[in-house]
Amino acid sequence: MIAVRVEDRAGERASFAVRPGERLLHAGLSAGLGLPYECATGTCGGCKATVTEGEARSLWNAAPGRRVCRRPGEILMCQSAVASETLTLKLPAAFREAREPPSGVRVGRVCGFRHLTPEIGTFSVELDAPIEHAPGQFALISAPGVEGPRAYSMTSAPSSTPRLDFLARLNEAGALTPLLFSGALDGCEVNVLGPLGRATLRSDDDRPFLAIVGGSGIAGMLSIVEAALAAGHFGRHPSRLVFGLRKPNGAFLLDELADAVRRSQGGLRVTVAFSDEPPGPDFAAAFPDLEAAHGLAHDVVRAGVSEIAAERPIVFVAGPPPMVDASMRMLVMEAKVSPAEIRFDRFG
Ligand code: FES
């Protein structure tokens, strides 16, 4: 094991141990440090740090998040391993308060893959021991023969069972999801690192929430909705979820959302926003508990911007980067929500 020292912008110091070849971010989070990150998979650039002593080696030179590494010594902690006998890093921000359950690595087996549409599916991993997670978190799955881990959000509410349920979107050009969607991973042993992610519903959250999610970003929100139902959150705080999809043909998880609306007894309002095609009259007949709209999810929310400014809800945003960025702009510029108040998951 090699010791890594870290200093944040305020001069606070911490250290953790890393194995040769292990990703620095994963080792630091597993040690309970509040390191900065968003995606943990090389996309966002949120885990940037500067090497001030020693050397690190990049595990993925083409990582999209490396666009933020412009100065000598800047690295992505989630895509770098140690390459010297000691390593010292400087963070551009302060350590985050570690509020979520600690991360760790578990071994598990993939089971129960099910197509929801040709491009979206659900699957489970039976772990050797349970992972404690907060609603809205994700985990990194490493499969044999696939270079590097991939991130998937848990759809299930936290429980003490050693089984995690996930949602996945098929990436034809990727290495892992084609295996998953073909059934080739069924029964395969995988490593699971988690939980990760800070866009969570906390037990002391005592306000309504507004969620804007796109596509497979619904995965973590399902977990949040289930946890909120179990805690009676909607009885105290009526909340709203706007779910962005392209077309009615190809929609998924609407039965589950309609069921959640019914169980909330009026406390949860769900609007499905179709960007490319308006919902037909058959939508209302099939899903009387859901509302439907034609447009982008954040534009649907924009219509009630004055209510957001007045109510100050907890705001969740999850989905592809352009959707998350447009939603954040609208929330900050028009609804006057502080960026620090927005809990978001941005993934490609
Ligand atoms: Fe490392 Fe996103 S957390 S690039």
What pLDDT, on the 0 to 100 scale, is given for residue 307?
A: 84
CA–chain centroid gap for 191, Å, is: 18
Mark residue 42 as left, alpha or beta (left: phi above 0; alpha: psi -120 to 50; beta: remaining): left
Distance CA 216, CA 284 (A): 23
What pLDDT, on the 0 to 100 scale, is given for residue 37?
A: 93
The alpha carbon of 45 and the centre of ligand 1 are apart by a number of angstroms equal to 5
Are the CB atoms for 96 and 184 separated by under 8 Å? no
Ligand 1 close to Cβ of residue 45 (< 6 A)? yes
The alpha carbon of 35 and the centre of ligand 1 are apart by a number of angstroms equal to 11
Which ranges of the chain would DSSP assign to H, the alpha helix?
24-30, 177-182, 218-230, 233-236, 254-263, 281-286, 297-302, 305-311, 321-333
Q: Considering the domain delimited by 2-90, tell me its CATH architecture.
A: Roll (3.10)
**Residue 341 confidence (pLDDT) above 60:** yes
pLDDT tens-digit map of 46-96: 999 999 999 999 999 999 999 999 999 999 999 999 999 999 999 999 998
CA–chain centroid gap for 160, Å, is: 21
- The percentage of residues in the chain with a pLDDT greater than 90, rounded to a whole number, is 84
Burial label, 311 (beta-carbon count in 10 A; 0-12, 13-18, 19+): middle
pLDDT band at residue 289, thresholds of 50, 70 and 90? very high
Q: Which atom of ligand 1 is nearest to the CA of 48?
A: 1
Task: Provide the 8-state DSSP code for 340.
Answer: G
pLDDT band at residue 157, thresholds of 50, 70 and 90? confident
Ligand 1 close to Cβ of residue 100 (< 6 A)? no
Strands 239-245 and 268-274: parallel
Ligand 1 close to Cβ of residue 197 (< 6 A)? no
Ligand 1 close to Cβ of residue 149 (< 6 A)? no
**In the chain, where the domains are located:** 2-90, 104-196, 209-346
Beta bridge partners of 294: 274
For the domain made up of 209-346, give the CATH fold.
Answer: Rossmann fold (3.40.50)
The alpha carbon of 42 and the centre of ligand 1 are apart by a number of angstroms equal to 4
**CA neighbor of 78 nearest in space, from 140, 32, 121:** 140
pLDDT tens-digit map of 236-252: 999 999 999 999 999 99
What is the average pLDDT score of the chain? Answer: 94
Q: Considering the domain delimited by 104-196, tell me its CATH architecture.
A: Beta Barrel (2.40)
The alpha carbon of 234 and the centre of ligand 1 are apart by a number of angstroms equal to 33
The alpha carbon of 76 and the centre of ligand 1 are apart by a number of angstroms equal to 6
**Residue 342 confidence (pLDDT) above 70:** yes
pLDDT tens-digit map of 10-42: 999 999 999 999 999 999 999 999 999 989 999
Q: Which atom of ligand 1 is nearest to the CA of 65?
A: 4
pLDDT tens-digit map of 98-142: 777 888 899 999 999 999 999 999 999 999 988 899 999 999 999
**Residue 196 confidence (pLDDT) above 60:** yes
What pLDDT, on the 0 to 100 scale, is given for residue 159?
A: 82
Pocket test for ligand 1, best of 26, 35, 47, 80 (most atoms within 8 A of CB): 47
Distance CA 305, CA 232 (A): 26
The alpha carbon of 199 and the centre of ligand 1 are apart by a number of angstroms equal to 15
The alpha carbon of 277 and the centre of ligand 1 are apart by a number of angstroms equal to 34
**Residue 348 confidence (pLDDT) above 70:** no
pLDDT tens-digit map of 308-326: 878 899 999 999 889 999 9
